[in-house]
Structure 1
Amino acid sequence: MDALELLLNRHSNPRLVDPAPAGEQLDILLRAALRAPDHAALTPWEFIVFEGEQRRALGEVLAAAAQAQGESEDAINKARNAPLRAPMVITVVAKVKEHDKVPRLEQELSAGCALMAMQMAAQSQGFSGIWRTGWFAFDRGVHRDLGLEPQDQIVGFLYLGTPEVEVRKLPERDPAQFVRHFGRS
Structure 2
Amino acid sequence: MPNPRPEALDFLLTRRSRPAKTLTAPWPARADLGPLLEAAARTPDHGKLEPWRFIVLEEAALQRLAALVESRGVALGLEAEAIEKARRQYADAGLVVAVVESPKASEKIPAIEQTYSAGAVCLALLNAALAAGWGANWLSGWASHDRAFVAEGLGLAAHERIAGMIHIGTETNAPPERPRPDLAAITQWVDA
| 1:133 paired to 2:140 | yes
Q: CA deviation at 1:52?
A: 1.9
Aligned with 2:172 (options 154, 164, 176): 164
Counterpart residue number, 2:7: 2
TM-score by length of 1: 0.90
| 1:33 paired to 2:40 | yes
Q: Specify the code of the residue in structure 2 equivalent to 1:116.
A: L
Deviates more, 1:33-42 or 1:63-72: 63-72
Counterpart residue number, 2:155: 147
**Runs of 4+ in structure 1 over 4 Å off:** none
Q: CA deviation at 1:170?
A: 3.1
Instruction: Write out aligned runs for 1:114-133 (5 A).
Output: 114-133=121-140
Counterpart residue number, 1:93: 100
Q: Which structure: greater helix fraction?
A: 2
Deviates more, 1:173-182 or 1:92-101: 173-182
Q: Judging changes above 3 Å, is the alpha-carbon distance between structure 1 residues 171 and 73 closer, same or farther for their aligned structure 2 residues?
A: closer
For residues 6 and 64 of structure 1, the distance between their equivalents in structure 2, rounded to whole angstroms, comes to 41
Count of aligned residue pairs for this structure pair = 184
Counterpart residue number, 2:3: none
Q: Is the partner of 1:117 in helix, strand or coil?
A: helix
Q: CA deviation at 1:33?
A: 1.1
CA RMSD of aligned residues (A): 1.9
Q: Is the partner of 2:163 in helix, strand or coil?
A: strand
> What do residues 46-93 of structure 1 show as CA deviations (whole Å, max 9, x unaligned)?
111112222101212322321221123444344333213332111111
> What do residues 135-162 of structure 1 show as CA deviations (whole Å, max 9, x unaligned)?
2232111221111111112111111111
TM-score by length of 2: 0.87
Q: CA deviation at 1:134?
A: 2.1
For residues 57 and 176 of structure 1, the distance between their equivalents in structure 2, rounded to whole angstroms, comes to 47
